Amino acid sequence: MKTGIKRRLTIMIAVSLLLCLPVTAWAAENPADPGNTAFILLCSALVMLMTPGLALFYGGMVRKKNVLSILMQCFTVLAIVSVQWVLGGYTLAFGSDHGGLIGSLEFLGLQGIATCSSVGSIPQLAFVGFQLMFAVITGAIICGSFAERMNFTAFVIFILLWTTLVYDPLAHWVWGGGWLGRLGALDFAGGAVVHISSGISGLVAALVLGRRIGQEKEAIVPHNLPMTITGASLLWFGWFGFNAGSALAADGLASLAFLVTNTCAATAALSWVTAEWLHHGKPTVFGAVSGAVAGLVAVTPAAGFVSPLASIIMGLLVGPVCYLAISRMKEKLAYDDSLDAFGIHGVGGTFGALATGVFASTAVNPAGADGLLASGGIRLLSVQLVAVAATYVFAGIMTFLILKFIHRFLPLRVSSSEEEAGLDASLQGEVAYSQVSGDGQNLSC
């Protein structure tokens, strides 16, 4: 009797061990946490929503004859970069380091990345998707600088080349094991990689293409502010995925990034409105949403390294800084940055990167570094300055060379007649608005 019981217990234990073997082996290969994985996939979707949000933000700011063209450009970036990232963009940014400058081709076509491959506590494929959405929104931001005048064929080629030759190397420099990351530069979610690079590249493109026809004679104002406000709201919403998701885990760091993102955006909206109220005597809704976006940009590099109180100070400062950059610098230098991509993203990103060197504290995030106010001296601020300067020089020069290369084969700018007619009708063969009679008959386009 006792022998039979022992035999059955032995069999049960053996079966239990055999059943546990596959689970143990899988866990060793794939330590991904289901909660963190779900969090990152959700954040990736939020960041993807930012591109349509940006399209609406920009769409309301252009003249009604160019609404569809700017929407088309933003959605085209989403399509082009989505394919480019899978084929080669990811491996250039996050492949094994080569000289601190670029990643290897080990993940070309995402080969070698299995479903069980992990980055930290999330599947590597989830990380690929999350970083893809950063590359997409960066290219889309540039569209705001040359809106209403760029040849669509040239635009398609430009976005493909710019993402490959500018964004991918910069992402590697900071996040992929490159020289800026090793130097100690802090860029939690893309102050230099996303905003400074797109801002300065947009400015260079605006200078190369020249001013819009009639821009020097009369002010070109937004045609549909409710559309712009809707887009800004989607951007603010999606930015929680942008910054909180950069923690790569649903933890306290993500919570901090979420909170300081909202706080800085809200404070910057108030400070921008206050600045224009004092300057022009009236607060505007356009100023409020512009300030909110400027605050979102500024807090992006700092989101995981600064306290909520520091984010309030950053928001108070960045609103007036960006407002003055647009209202004064743009007027004095007479350049046509159509939708102020440089004034908000370039200037705001620069402010945020440098402010990180001032307000960052290891008391907030031990994995970061102490800035000037946390008794870290000027070292971090100096490193941040190097990162800003390197981004300006590299992105600016490469953008200029890419545009000049394209111009050797086809015109960068639409013809005068196409520009005056509007890019919607001349390039897309569509119009956003048409006058319709009461019975539904189309009267004019």
pLDDT, mean over the chain? 91
What CA–CA distances, in Å, run from 364 to 222, 239, 249, 252, 390? 41, 21, 16, 10, 27
Q: Given this model, what pLDDT does residue 439 score?
A: 39
Dihedral angle sign, alpha carbons of residues 200, 202, 204, 206:
negative
- Residues, the chain, total? 445
Q: Given this model, what pLDDT does residue 7 score?
A: 60
Confidence of residue 8 (pLDDT cuts 50, 70, 90): low
pLDDT in tens, 375-432: 889 999 999 999 999 999 999 999 999 999 999 999 999 999 999 999 999 999 999 9
pTM to 2 decimal places = 0.91
Confidence of residue 22 (pLDDT cuts 50, 70, 90): very low
What domains lie within the chain, and their CATH numbers? 33-432 (1.10.3430.10)
Backbone angles phi, psi at 333, to 5 degrees: -85, -10
CB 143 within 8 Å of CB 77: yes
Give the percent of the chain with pLDDT over 90.
85
pLDDT in tens, 426-437: 999 999 998 644
Confidence of residue 333 (pLDDT cuts 50, 70, 90): confident
Q: Which amino acid is at 303?
A: A
Q: Residue 330: pLDDT above 90?
A: no
pLDDT in tens, 52-90: 999 999 999 999 999 999 999 999 999 999 999 999 999
Q: Residue 10: pLDDT above 70?
A: no
Q: Report the alpha-carbon distance of residue 153 to residue 423 in Å, rounded.
A: 13
Q: Which two tokens stand for residue 444?
A: 């004019």
Q: Which helix (H) or strand (E) holds 321?
A: helix 308-324
Confidence of residue 17 (pLDDT cuts 50, 70, 90): very low
Q: Residue 151: pLDDT above 70?
A: yes
Q: Report the alpha-carbon distance of residue 339 to residue 242 in Å, rounded.
A: 22
Q: Report the alpha-carbon distance of residue 116 to residue 297 in Å, rounded.
A: 34
Q: Report the alpha-carbon distance of residue 346 to residue 399 in Å, rounded.
A: 14
Residue 413 sits at the vertex; the CA angle it makes with 334 and 427, to the nearest 5 degrees, is 125
